[in-house]
Structure 1
Amino acid sequence: MEAGGLPLELWRMILAYLHLPDLGRCSLVCRAWYELILSLDSTRWRQLCLGCTKCRHPNWPNQPDVEPESWREAFKQHYLASKTWTKNALDLESSVCFSLFRRRRERRTLSVGPGHEFDSLGSALAMASLYDRIVLFPGVYEEQGEIVLKVPVEIVGHGKLGEVALLASIDQHCSTTRLCNLVFMPAWFSPFMYKTTAGHVQFDNCNFENGHIQVRGPGTCQVKFCTFRNTHVFLQNVPLCVLENCEFVGSENNSVTVEGHPSADKNWAYKYLLGLIKSTPTFLPTEDSDFLMSLDLESRDQAWSPKTCDIVIEGSQSPTSAASSSPKPASKAGSQEAEVGSDGERGAQTPDSSDGGLSPSGEDEDEDQLMYRLSYQVQGPRPVLGGSFLGPPLPGASIQLPSCLVLNSLQQELQKDKEAMALANSVQGCLIRKCLFRDGKGGVFVCSYGRAKMEGNIFRNLTYAVRCIHNSKIVMLRNDIYRCRASGIFLRLEGGGLIAGNNIYHNAEAGVDIRKKSNPLILCNQIHHGLRSGIVVLGNGKGIIRNNQIFSNKEAGIYILYHGNPISWDPVCHPSSSIGRL
C-alpha cells in the first residue's frame, strides 16, 4: 500500500466487514494486501470459523477453550475437508454441448419440509440427480422403509444442529455422499442408521444416537465434529477411514470396532484422504519437544516420601526356573536382601486382571514369589533415581535426572529405531484423531488383523480404552487414558504395534496389559497413579518396553509373571513410587 494511505488499523476495521469470497479477492491484489488479510486471523477469520453452523470449535471436544494456532488455517482445513466427497465429480459433472466447449452442469438444491417442494427425504431422492443438494428444514423425518442412495447427493440439515432429526436406515450404493448438520436415529425396523460397502461417505457436524454405522472395504468414510451417543461404528476391511474431532459417549459395547486386514481394493477417495491426512499437522514430536506430559491436577497435591525399590519376579515351579532364580541373601546392611514372600503375606499383590477384572486362569496361582529389597540409591537391575521428590513434576516442568538416567525424547527414540519410525508414520485402516471417548464400556476394539492409528485422543471413565487382539496392529501417539475400570490398553493373541508418548494414569488395573504372544513396542510413556501395576506381561506376552516413566502405582511398576518374556525393558521408576517393583 502507498505511503500516506489509511492506517493499518482502519484497513482492518474495513476488511472485517467483507465476506469470504471478497477476502479471497483482496488477498490477490498484492503482497501487502495479502499480509493484511492474514493479519485478520484473530478477528475476521475467527468470526468466520465460529460463525459457521456446519462446524464446531477447531479444538472440540478435547480443548474447546484453547484457541488454534491459526483460525484461518483451521477454517481452511475445514473447508478442504468438506469438499473431499466431490473430488471425483470433475468429469462426471460436465456435459458435452453441441459446441466444441464443455459446460459444467449446475447442482440443484431440493428443499424438503412442510410447505416446501418435497414432503419426505425419499421423494426428494427419487427426483435427485448427480451431486444435487438436498436441504432438510427443521422437523422430524421418519422413513418407513430402507433408503437406498443410488446417486451421489449431499443431504444437509437447515438451521442449528438438533433442529433436524432423521429416523431412517440408509444403504449407500453410490460412489460418494455427504451428510451434514443432522441428528440420526435408528428406524423402527433396523438398528443400522447407515451402511456402505464400496463408496465414500462423509459426515460433518452430525449426532448419532442409539444405533449402528457400518462401513465395509473398499468403502471409506470421513467423520468430523460428530457426537456418537450409545452408537457403535463398525469398520470392516476398510483401506482408510478418518474419525476426527468426534465425541463418543455412553457406549454399551465398543464405540469403534476395526476388524479385518485393510482391503487391497481401494476406491477413488483413498488417495484424497491420504493427501488430506498428510497436509494436517502431525502428532509426532519435534526435536525440541518435551517428553513430559501434564499430570492430573489432583496428583500434584500428593506428597511422596523416598522409598526403596522392590523387584518382584514370579515364575513357574520348574527345576530350571527355581535354580536360575534362587536369591543369595547378603548379610551386610545396605546390601541386597532376599525375602521369600508367602501367598498369605503378599495376598494383596496379586497379578492384574485381564478381561474386565477376570483373574488369569489356566496358570498355577500358588507359585512362589521372590522379592528382592534394594536401596534405590545403591543398586538395582539398572540405576534408579536418587534423591527425593516432594511431588510429581508440574506441567511443563523437567525432572533433573542423573547423567546416567537422562531420558531420550520420543523423537530420539524413533530416530534410533527405524521400524518404530515407520510405524509412527504409517496410516492404514482407521485413523482416530483428537476424539473423546467417555462414560461407557469400551473405546476402540481392533481385531482379526485390523489396523488402527490413534493420535491425541482422550479415553476416560471407560471399562477399557483400547483392546487389540488376533494379529492386529495399533499405533497410539500422545493419548490420555485415565480412570478406566479395568486396564487401559489390552493386547492379546499376537497383537502388536507402537504405544508411544501416552499419559496413562488413575486406572483400576494395569496401564498396559500384554498377554498371549502379543509383542508391542512401548516407548516414552508416563504410566502412573494406577490402582495396581503399571505394565503387566504374562502368558507368553513379549514386548519392548523402553524409556518410560512408571511411578506411583499401587503395585508393581512392571509385573513380569506366568511366562512373560519382554524382549528388552528399560524403564525409569521414580524412587517415590508407591511400590516401584519390576
Structure 2
Amino acid sequence: MEVGSLPVELWRVILAYLPLPDLGRCCQVCRAWRELILSLDNTRWRQLCLGCRECRHPNWPSQPHLEPPSWREALKQHALATRTWTQNGPELQSSACLLFFRRRKDRRVWHVGSGCEFETLRGALGVVGPYDRVVLHPGVYEEQAEVALKVPVELVGLGQLGEVALLVCMEQQCPTARLCNLVFMPPWFSTVVYKIVMLRNEVCECRASGVFMRLSAQGLIAENNIHSNGEAGLDIRKGANPIIVCNKIHSGLRSGVVVLGNGKGSIRSNQIYNNKEAGVYILFSGNPVVNGNHIFQGQAAGIAINENGRGMITENVIKENQWGGVDIRRGGDPILRNNYICYGYSDGVVVGERGRGLIEGNHVYCNKGCGVWVMSSSLPQLLGNYITHNCMYGLAVFCRKDPENIETREANWPGQEGIGGDGGSGERRGVEGEGREGQENLNEEGELFAWESDLDSEDERHSARRSISVALVESNCMNYNGAVGLYVKSSEPLNVFANLINSNRGTGIAVLQSSQLTRLVTNCILENGRGGVTVEKDCRVELRGNGIYKNSGHGVSFSGNGQIVENDVVGNRGYGIQVSGGADIKVLRNRVQPAQGCGIAVQGPVKGVVHDNLLFQGHPGNKKTLLHMDPGNENCVLRNNSVLRHNNSCTSAPPWVLENPPPRPLASSPSGLSSSQYPSRLGISMTTRISATVENGCHSGSMFCSIL
C-alpha cells in the first residue's frame, strides 16, 4: 500500500499497534515508508522506549526531566547495552574477556567518589601503578577530554549495575586492562571510536564470544590464540572496523569470525580451523576484507555469506571443510577472487537461493561434490575460474529452491559415472554457513535492528563489477571433473561465454531443463568422456560460435528448441550434429567433420531449417552419409549444404584447414576482451592442418580440418 493513500495522522494510529520487529520490516519497504517510521519518534518510539523494561537501562536518562534528542536512538542504545550485559551472566564481578589477571602482592586499591581520596577518575589514573585496582563509588563520572590508560589497571564499579556511569572517552595504551560493573555513555566530544590493541593473548572458554567489537571500535588484534569459546571467536558488528592479523582462531562452538550489522574489518593471514560452524560468517550487511587466511577443517562452510552480507574475499586457502568451501545465499553479494578452494567434503562454492556475487579467478579443485553449485534464482558472475578434478559436476545450475530442512544428498549423482543424465533425483541438502540452531540469536538481532540499515548503501554494493540481470559464466576452465562439465537444469536464463570445458568424465555441457534461454557462445568443448553438448526436449538453447572437438560421443545431440549457428564440430566419435524429437531448430553455417558417424542427422518430426553448412568426411573409411534426414519429414528444410569427401585417386588437391574464419571459438567475445585472455582459446591448439584430398570438381580450393 502506498504511504500517500492515507493521512499521516491515520498511519500513526495504525502503526502504534506494531511491535518493534514489524516496524523494522516496514522501514525496509522503501524510502517513503522509512521516513514515515522515523517520523514516529515522539509517539510510537517514545512509547516503546518507556514501556520496555528489559531494554531500558537503569541509569538512563540521568536527567529525567530532559527528553533525549531521539527516542528511537535511545531505545537502540538501551537494547544494545542490556543485551551485552545479560550475555555475560548475572555475576557482576565476572569478566567474559579476561580469565586471568596478574596480581601483585603490593598492588593498591584506590577509591574514587564524593568524600574519597580522589573525586575524579583522571586524578586516580594519574597515580595508579601497574595492576592496581580503582574502585568507583556510585555516581556519574564525566571527563572533558580523553583519558589514557597508560599502565594495566583494574576499574571496578561499586554497587549494582547502572549505579556507576562513565561519560568518558578512553585510549588504551597499556597491553591489558579489566573493566567491570561499569556503564559507558558516549561523552559530548567523542565520536564513539574505541581503539583496542590486543597482542599475543590466549582467549579461551568464554561463555559468549571471545572478542566482541561494536560501536565503530577500531584497533589491532594480532598473534592471539582464540579458541574453545561458546560463541564466535571474534564478533564484529555495528560499524566496528578492526585489523585482525596472524591469529589462531579455532575449536569454537560456533563460527570462527562473525561480521554482521554493518561491521567491517580487515581479516588477514589468520589460521581459522576446526570451528563447529563457518570459519568466517558474514551477514546483515557485514562487509569485511578477508585476505590471505588459511581456513580449514571446519565442521560447516569455510566462509558463509548470508542475509545481504558482502565482503572482499581474496587469496585465501579454504580446504577440507565439511560443507561448501564458500556458501553464498539469501542476498549475499561478495567479491570472491583468487582463492584456493579445495579438498572439501562437499561442493567447492555454493551459490544458494538469491545469492549473488563476483566469483573470479579462483582455483576450485578436488572437492568431493561439485566444483560450483548454483541455484536458478541466483545471479552470480563466474569469471576466469579454474574448476578442475572435482568428484561430481564441474558447474551445476539447478532450478530447485533450498529445502526448509537440511537433508542428506544421495551419494551418487546422475552423471557421476560419466552419464549426463537427469539431475533431479538427488535432493540437495541445504548448505548453510551456520546451523539452523546457530542462527537464532543473529536472526533475532537482525529483525530487532533492521531499521538501522542504510538504504543508500545499495548503490556502492555493485560498484566493483558489471551490472547483470542474467547469471553469467564466462572464461572459466572446467576440466577433469568426475561427471558433466557444465550441468544445467534451470528455470532462469543463463549466459555461458568463452569457457574451456574439456576432459570431464561425462558430457561437456548437458542442458536438461531450460525454460528460459540458455546461451552457449564461443566455448571450446574438448575431449569429454561422453558427448560435447546435449540438449534435451523443451529446452531453449542458442549454440553459437563454439568449437566442439574430439568428444567421445556425439558432438551435439539436440532435442530442444533454438539455434545451432556457426559452430565447428570436428573429430567427435559419434555424429557431428544430431537433431531429434519434435525440436524446432535452425542449423546454420556450421562446419562439421565426424570421426566415424554421420555429419548432420535429422531424426524424427523435426521442424526448422538446415542450410549453408559445410560437412567434411572424417576418416577415409567412414562410409556413412554425411547429411541424413528421415524420410517423410516435411517440416524441415535442407538447402545449400556442402558435402566434401576423400578421393584417394586425386593427389594434387591442397590440404584442408579451418580458416576464414579460423578455428572457433571466434576471436571476438561478448565482453570485448582479447581472445588470448580466454581459457577457451587453449583448445584451439588441438586443431591442426593435415593433407587430404576431395572429390574432383567439388569445391576445389576449400580447406579440411582434422584432429591429430
Which structure would you say has the larger RCO, counting Cα contacts within 8 Å and 6 or more residues apart?
A: 1
Q: Which protein shows a greater Rg?
A: 2
